[in-house]
Amino acid sequence: MAKFPRPSLKKLFVKQLCLASGLVLLLGVIWREAWISVIAGVLVALIPQLIFSWFAFSYSGARQQFQQLKALFLGAALKFGSTVVLFVLVFTLVPLSNPILFLSTYALVVLLNWLNPWLVRSRTS
């Protein structure tokens, strides 16, 4: 039976964190007074992604298909719920100097997820 390689989540998140940190530094240099907005946008985007990945990739193997499916749906639900909770917390507790920058940073970090196939390449050959 052929085994597919599992993606290295640790490497993926380290690379995503490096890209997000570069984004924070770039936007923080351009708008010095908006550091809190930028950091909040990055955290609201990355924390739910970590939660989803933890649950979605917790099972492997053909015999555990039902558990994989349950974990995938649970991860998606927790990702959605944690995103809503984090948005509510940020907009109620954090004094944002620039809400547009917060939302833009959130959108840019979410779009970084589209780079995942290039960030993690499986070495099957």
Residue 78 lies in a domain: yes
Query: How many C-beta atoms lie closer than 10 Å to residue 4's C-beta?
Result: 8
Residue 102 lies in a domain: yes
Mean pLDDT across the chain:
80
What's the CA gap between 116 and 19, in Å, rounded? 12
Q: How confident is the model at residue 82 (pLDDT cuts 50, 70, 90)?
A: very high
Residue 4 lies in a domain: no
Residue 1 lies in a domain: no
Residue 29 lies in a domain: yes
Beta-carbon contacts of residue 7 (< 8 Å; ≥ 6 apart): 57, 120, 122
What's the CA gap between 109 and 112, in Å, rounded? 5
Residue 100 lies in a domain: yes
Q: How confident is the model at residue 79 (pLDDT cuts 50, 70, 90)?
A: very high
Residue 20 lies in a domain: yes
Residue 125 lies in a domain: no
What's the CA gap between 29 and 23, in Å, rounded? 10
**Total of domains in the chain:** 1
Q: What is the pLDDT of residues 93-112, one digit of tens each?
A: 988 888 888 898 899 888 88
78 with 35: CB under 8 angstroms? no
Average pLDDT over residues 72-90: 94
**Res. 123: pLDDT tops 60:** no
Structural domain boundaries, residue 47:
9-119
Q: Is 102 exposed, middle or buried (0-12, 13-18, 19+ CB in 10 A)?
A: buried
Predicted TM-score (pTM) of this structure = 0.75
